[in-house]
């Protein structure tokens, strides 16, 4: 008899659910796991992604109660704990159903998740990237009915062994397959210069980021670890071909740093050019990893928008963030790359952080200046957030510990200026950027086609932008 494996991703945070401008990507861990498990015999694998909105929570509950899954793999964020508890309380045969907890929540708060499910005998927290170890554990379970592998490789409460798995065999992972309905259920809110309706596809070509920015955490990343692992281009080609056949014309790479491996990226661009996919694509990149030759190659393969985390205008703050080992040249590199992108008609988005610990008024003004005058086409500002598992939080243990993603929490002011001043700089920078006449002309030039053919998408972005003033009132004082 076939064994049922249930894969489930919990809902987005309440704040994200209520945000009209939110983006929702597929769950790459669960989709990869689904593809791996499809190769094992005698399994009935069902995936429920609550963030996609494709099904009702009741469908999940019915499936749980009628199909009696042998294993439930739950990907949860930290705010997903009540949902996880609710679903698991409905397991009818706890001694026969194992629960594997994965994702940002269980990785950050393993004890909390284990305590919440302490009445279940078979609960395992698999921190980090779970695909490899879980697929092996499921194969072991199918072959021998035991959970020894997962038992010895999951978080151990008594020794607090902090296992964080990496998907080392990522290069050999099978192609992820989507249905058209599934793809259309994910939303990607970035505008692309386009004169047609955008049909989004999603891909992740690499795992890991070699850099060590001190504010960075898996809470805001898609993958774990510093070691860069790359997906086989043959596999990726199959994924992209399938998406192309489903009508996809815009591709969002979810990689933490797509430019981390130059050779791989050149190969990826060559593959997309040879295949003639014609996607317009967007990705995260670093200004110190791009040059004219690489940007030309990316443009030829359809690159349309690059998002650069440039973070701060002041060298001191850049060093504080460990953003680069050459802080003195960071902004020269950024200017050159943005200028080159403009020549090639690649749009750029600048991502900045405001309010680093001790960041003074002059330093904040430098950041605002860089945001306004570097030449970015789009701008994103974030308040500094001290996540608990960052090098920065470990260095300054006295700081408030935050385990949720920053969209769920009001920002806090750790800077050297008052909350009023910080809010003012945030607000004015946004408004001077988007409402200055030059930028308005540039936006109309870049995005008139996008607005015409993607009007609902545009309205969601616009309403999201109007939400900025509301978000200002939520900035609290330093705890």
Q: Which residues bind ligand SF4 (CB under 6 A)?
A: 209, 211, 213, 216, 221, 256-257, 286, 309
Give the separation between CA 47 and CA 450, rounded to whole angstroms: 33
SS3 419: helix
Minimum separation from the CB atom of position 254 to ligand SF4 (A): 12
Q: Which residue number, 209 or 368, has a Cβ lying nearer to ligand SF4?
A: 209
Give the Cα-Cα-Cα angle 209, 213, 219 (nearest 5 degrees): 70
Distance of CA 397 to the CA centre of its chain: 26
- DSSP alpha helix (H) spans, 2-147: 14-18, 28-37, 57-67, 81-88, 104-108, 110-116, 131-144
Q: Which residue number, 221 or 457, has a Cβ lying nearer to ligand SF4?
A: 221
Q: Which residue number, 15 or 286, has a Cβ lying nearer to ligand SF4?
A: 286
Q: Which residue number, 302 or 309, has a Cβ lying nearer to ligand SF4?
A: 309
**CB neighbour burial string for 447-456, b if at least 16 within 10 angstroms, e if fewer:** beebbeebee
* DSSP letter string, 299-344: HHTTEEEEEEEEE-SSHHHHHHTT--S-HHHHHHHHHHHHHHHHHH
Q: Which residue number, 211 or 296, has a Cβ lying nearer to ligand SF4?
A: 211
Minimum separation from the CB atom of position 351 to ligand SF4 (A): 9
Minimum separation from the CB atom of position 283 to ligand SF4 (A): 12
* Residue appearing with tokens 């949860």: 76
For 125, other C-beta atoms within 10 Å of its C-beta total: 25
Minimum separation from the CB atom of position 446 to ligand SF4 (A): 25
Minimum separation from the CB atom of position 253 to ligand SF4 (A): 13
Minimum separation from the CB atom of position 341 to ligand SF4 (A): 18
Q: Which residue number, 129 or 256, has a Cβ lying nearer to ligand SF4?
A: 256
Query: What separation, in Å, do the N-terminal and C-terminal C-alpha atoms of the chain show?
Result: 56
Give the Cα-Cα-Cα angle 456, 189, 273 (nearest 5 degrees): 110
Is the dihedral angle over the CA atoms 324, 475, 23, 443 positive or is it negative? negative
Minimum separation from the CB atom of position 215 to ligand SF4 (A): 7
Give the separation between CA 411 and CA 167, rounded to whole angstroms: 32
* Cβ within 8 Å of residue 320, ≥6 positions away: 214, 356, 357
Minimum separation from the CB atom of position 216 to ligand SF4 (A): 3
Minimum separation from the CB atom of position 220 to ligand SF4 (A): 7
Q: Which residue number, 249 or 385, has a Cβ lying nearer to ligand SF4?
A: 385
Q: Which residue number, 206 or 347, has a Cβ lying nearer to ligand SF4?
A: 206
| Greatest alpha-carbon span in the chain | 68
Minimum separation from the CB atom of position 345 to ligand SF4 (A): 25
Q: Which residue number, 231 or 284, has a Cβ lying nearer to ligand SF4?
A: 284
Q: Which residue number, 83 or 222, has a Cβ lying nearer to ligand SF4?
A: 222
- DSSP alpha helix (H) spans, 68-147: 81-88, 104-108, 110-116, 131-144
β-strand partners of 6 = 46, 72
Q: Which residue number, 211 or 299, has a Cβ lying nearer to ligand SF4?
A: 211
- Burial tier of 477 (Cβ tally within 10 Å: 0-12, 13-18, 19+): exposed
Minimum separation from the CB atom of position 239 to ligand SF4 (A): 22
Question: CA nearest 225: which of 141, 148, 164?
Answer: 164
């Amino acid at each position: 008899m076939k064994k049922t494996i249930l894969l489930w991703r919990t809902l987005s945070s309440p704040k994200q659910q209520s945000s009209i401008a939110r983006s929702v990507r597929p769950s790459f861990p669960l989709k990869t796991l689904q593809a791996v498990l499809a190769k094992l015999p005698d399994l009935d694998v069902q995936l429920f992604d609550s963030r996609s909105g494709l099904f009702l929570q009741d469908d999940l509950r019915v499936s749980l109660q009628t199909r009696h899954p042998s294993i439930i793999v739950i990907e949860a964020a930290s705010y997903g704990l009540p949902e996880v508890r609710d679903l698991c309380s409905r397991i009818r045969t706890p001694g026969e159903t194992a629960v594997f907890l994965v994702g940002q929540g269980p990785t950050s708060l393993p004890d909390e998740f284990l305590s919440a499910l302490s009445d279940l005998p078979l609960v395992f927290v698999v921190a980090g990237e779970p695909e490899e170890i879980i697929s092996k554990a499921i194969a072991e379970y199918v072959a021998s009915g035991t959970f020894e592998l997962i038992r010895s490789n999951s978080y151990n409460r008594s020794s607090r062994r902090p296992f964080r798995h990496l998907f080392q065999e990522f290069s050999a992972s099978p192609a992820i397959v989507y249905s058209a309905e599934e793809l259309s259920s994910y939303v990607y809110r970035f505008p692309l210069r386009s004169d047609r309706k955008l049909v989004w596809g999603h891909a992740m070509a690499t795992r890991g980021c070699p850099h060590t920015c001190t504010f960075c955490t898996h809470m805001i990343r898609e993958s774990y670890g510093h070691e860069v692992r790359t997906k086989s281009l043959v596999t990726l080609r199959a994924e992209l071909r399938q998406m192309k056949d489903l009508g996809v014309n815009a591709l969002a790479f979810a990689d933490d740093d797509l430019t981390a491996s130059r050779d791989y990226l050149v190969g990826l661009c060559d593959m997309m050019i040879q295949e003639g996919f014609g996607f317009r694509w967007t990705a995260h990149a670093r200004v110190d990893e791009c040059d004219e030759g690489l940007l030309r190659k990316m443009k030829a393969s359809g690159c349309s928008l690059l998002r650069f985390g440039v973070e701060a205008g002041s060298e001191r703050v850049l060093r504080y963030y460990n953003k680069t080992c050459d802080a003195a040249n960071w902004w020269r590199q950024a200017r050159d790359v943005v200028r080159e992108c403009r020549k090639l008609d690649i749009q750029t988005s600048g991502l900045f952080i405001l309010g680093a610990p001790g960041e003074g008024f002059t330093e904040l003004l430098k950041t605002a200046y860089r945001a306004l005058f570097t030449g970015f086409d789009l701008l994103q500002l974030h308040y500094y957030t001290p996540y608990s598992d960052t090098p920065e939080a470990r260095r300054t243990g006295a700081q408030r510990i935050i385990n949720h993603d920053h969209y769920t929490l009001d920002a806090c002011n750790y800077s050297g200026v008052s909350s009023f001043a910080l809010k003012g700089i945030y607000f004015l920078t946004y408004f001077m950027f988007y409402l200055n006449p030059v930028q308005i002309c540039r936006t109309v030039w870049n995005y008139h086609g996008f607005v015409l053919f993607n009007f609902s998408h545009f309205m969601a972005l616009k309403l999201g932008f109007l939400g900025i003033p509301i978000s200002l009132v939520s900035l609290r004082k330093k705890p």
